[in-house]
Amino acid sequence: MNTETFIATKKKNGHILNGFSHEDIGDDHLYTGLETPMKKDAFKLSDTEKKQRIALLFEEIMDVMGLDLTDDSLKGTPERVAKMYIDEIFSGLNPANKPKIALFDNKYQYNQMLVEKNIAFYSNCEHHFVPIIGKAHVAYISSGKVIGLSKLNRIVQYYAKRPQVQERLTNQIAEDLKHILGTEDVAVIIDAKHLCVSSRGIKDETSATVTCYYGGKFNTPEKIAELQNYLKD
C-alpha cells in the first residue's frame, strides 16, 4: 500500500480511524502535506501559558521515568525544556516569529542565479522529536527584485524551527521564496543527518538524506548541473 492510499484510508478529518495506531505506521517516513499539521486553536494559549503547561507536563514525564526532581541538577529542567521548546527550537510554529522581509530593485541587472550555500540549520524530526542537523543551499534568479542575503538564512531557520519532515521543510522554503520574490525560478537543496536514524532504530551513523526542489528555469538539466557545480567545495 502506498503512502497516499494509507493516509486516505486511515485518516478522516484529522483523526485516525479503524483502530490504526502509530504502531501500524512504525518508522515509516510519512509526508502528509506542505503545511505543518496544526490545530485550529494552536494559538489559543499565550507563549507564557504554553511554557507553564509544558513545564508541568515534562516534570511529570521525568517523574514517571524515576528521576529525582529535588536534585539541584534536575529541578530546573522542566522550565528549561519549556523555554527551549517555545522560544527556541520550535519557535517557527508561531507565525509571529516569521522574519520580516524587504525586497530591493535589482539595480545591478544581475540576471544569473544567486546561490547562498551551506546554510547550517538544526531542526527536529516530528516522528521522534530528535534532531535533524544539516545544511541548506538556496538559489534564485531575480525577476526584478532581490532579497538581502541574511534573509535567505532567516527563512531557512524559521521553517527549520518546527517538528519537521525534510521533504516538507524543502518545499516550505521553496514555496515561501517563490511567493516573496514573485518568481518560479527558485531552487532548494537540503543535505541532512537524522538522529532518529543514527541514534536509534537502525543506528546508521554514516547515512545522510538529500532533498531537492527545482522550480522554473532551474528545472532543466543545464541549470541543475550549473547549480551543482557551484555547490562543490
Got the DSSP string for 15-69? Answer: EE-TT--HHHHTT------SSPP--TTTTSS-HHHHHHHHHHHHHHHHHHTT--T
Is 35 one of the catalytic residues? no
Strand pairing class (131-141; 113-125): antiparallel
22 is catalytic: no
Q: Are 216 and 183 in contact (CB under 8 A)?
A: yes
Asked if the model's pLDDT at residue 19 lies above 80, the reply is: no
User: Residue 153 belongs to what H/E stretch?
Assistant: helix 149-160
CA neighbor of 136 nearest in space, from 154, 111, 163, 112: 154
Which CATH number fits the domain 3-97, given the four candidates 1.10.10.10, 1.10.286.10, 3.40.640.10, 3.40.50.10700?
Answer: 1.10.286.10
pLDDT at 18 over 50: no
- Whether domain 103-230 has CATH 3.30.1130.10: the reply is yes
Looking at residue 202, what is its pLDDT? 86
Mean predicted lDDT score pLDDT of the chain: 90
Instruction: Read off the pLDDT of each residue in 55-64 and give the average, rounded to a whole number.
Output: 98
Q: Are the C-beta atoms of residues 210 and 228 closer than 8 Å to each other?
A: no
Q: Could you say which of 59, 125, 157, 172 is catalytic?
A: 125
Residue 125 known to be catalytic:
yes
Least Cα distance to 152 among 197, 199, 188 occurs for 188
Point out the catalytic residue in the list 59, 137, 164, 194: 194
- Residue 126 annotated as catalytic: yes
State the pLDDT at residue 204: 85
166 included as an active-site residue: yes
Element (H, E) at 95: none
Of 140, 128, 136, the residue nearest 159 (C-alpha): 136
196 in active site: yes
Q: Indicate whether this model's pTM tops 0.95.
A: no
Q: Where are the domains of the chain?
A: 3-97, 103-230
Same fold flag, 3-97 and 103-230? no
Which among 52, 79, 128, 184 is annotated as catalytic? 128
Cell numbers for 141, please give them. 534568479
In this predicted structure, the answer to whether residue 42 has a pLDDT above a threshold of 60 is: yes
Torsion of CA 144, 159, 26, 206, to 10 degrees: 80
- Mean pLDDT of all residues in 70-94: 98
| Active site annotation includes 164 | no
Annotated active-site residue in 157, 164, 166, 172? 166
